Amino acid sequence: MATLMLENGADIRYIQQMLGHADLKTTQICTQVSILQLKRIHAATHPARAATEGSRREKLKRRCSRRFFFSR
- Is residue 5 over pLDDT 60? yes
8-49 pLDDT, tens digit per residue, is 889 999 999 999 999 999 988 888 777 777 888 888 888 887
Q: pTM for the full model?
A: 0.49
Residue 50: what pLDDT? 65
Length of the chain, in residues: 72
Q: Cβ neighbours of residue 34 under 8 Å, at least 6 residues apart?
A: 3, 7
Q: How many domains does the chain have?
A: 1
Is the separation of the CB atoms in 24 and 12 below 8 Å? yes
- Residue-number span of the structural domain to which 12 is assigned: 2-71
Range list of H helices, 1-72? 2-7, 12-19, 24-30, 35-45, 47-71
Residues 6+ apart with CB under 8 A from 35: none
- Tell me if residue 8 falls in helix, strand or coil: coil
